[in-house]
Chain A
């Protein structure tokens, strides 16, 4: 079977591909989440400073990664919309927005629930937290923009421009803990010199991150499939109205 990215540019081929892949991804998510939760609660030891609350890290950190990953998917799709006019680029961007927004929301909420017992507060206006909140607001803005413009082509181009402008926030989130003095801890996984986290905690973190990533891909494919169908419905409804007008004339 020869399957290339360009062949998936055809929505019908993409639907066929998604139909085959989605059940396997769903099974993989169940396996990885099961393993990740087992490691998180029954294998990982309490942290010597944070105690049991370190278990929040196993969902907080992957949620934050996926929140940023989702926006990068949207930004790359925006390039596809504006430069290459790829038929599925806007579909991909629109489908990724609610998923990325959900993971960003989870990063903010689980971070607050972790912050209260560790920092003594649910929220501080430090650079990392604020830039993540800005990311969440950008997601909401993009979703609102797609909802506000009825014609999908116009909505897609407007959203693509906003998405690319907002992409500047991604490096700000990443490096905020280095550029400014923040209450949020600096990078402890992807840093020069290797992770500063003990392998006993790092393993569950990576398994949960893998589970969240496959979950993101699964939800993205499902949402793209629904979006392609929505556009077909929209086009057929327009076609019916136009044909009725022709018949009357």
Chain B
């Protein structure tokens, strides 16, 4: 086990601690922001699906016969056409 009683970072300890503190804070902020974004998108998607607006792959077969919106370049990245309820 490390001996914390004799733990000494020398005369430049403040620089070392500051470097690790900034790194910890930045990584924690990035992780939390990514998690928050993921949750926000899941909530928005769930709200849209609750309103009956679903992707074609998630829609009922009868829904697919309804008018579909011309596929834009933006939803090409998501795979699957979008079908309004």
Is chain B a partner of chain A in the same complex?
yes
Q: Helix, strand, loop or mixed for chain A's interface? A: helix
Give min CB distance, B25 to chain A, whole Å: 10
Asked if A59 CB lies within 8 Å of chain B CBs, one says yes
Give min CB distance, A11 to chain B, whole Å: 4
**In the complex, A240 Cα to B48 Cα: how many Å?**
9
Q: Are B26 and A105 in contact (CB under 8 A)?
A: yes
Q: Which residues of A contact B18 (CB under 8 A)?
A: 113
Q: List the interface of chain B (C-beta within 8 A of A).
A: 2, 7-10, 12-13, 15-16, 18-20, 22-23, 26-27, 30-31, 33-35, 37-38, 41-42, 44-45, 48, 51, 53-55, 57, 67, 69, 72-80, 82-85
> Which range holds the interface residue count of chain A?
35 or more
**In the complex, A233 Cα to B27 Cα: how many Å?**
27
Q: Are A237 and B48 in contact (CB under 8 A)?
A: yes
State which of A130-138, A159-167, A173-181, A223-231 sits at the interface with chain B. Answer: A223-231
Q: Are B77 and A219 in contact (CB under 8 A)?
A: no
Q: Are A99 and B30 in contact (CB under 8 A)?
A: yes
Q: Are A232 and B45 in contact (CB under 8 A)?
A: yes
Q: Are A113 and B38 in contact (CB under 8 A)?
A: no
Q: Which residues of B contact A90 (CB under 8 A)?
A: 77
Beyond the given pairs A229-B38, A242-B84, 10 more chain A to chain B contacts, judged by CB atoms under 8 angstroms and listed by A's residue number, are A11-B77, A52-B12, A56-B19, A98-B33, A99-B30, A153-B77, A219-B30, A222-B38, A231-B75, A240-B48
Q: Looking at the complex, which one of B9, B33, B42, B79 makes contact with A11 (CB distance below 8 Å)?
A: B79
* Beta-carbon nearest neighbor of A54 in chain B: B16
Q: Are A228 and B82 in contact (CB under 8 A)?
A: no
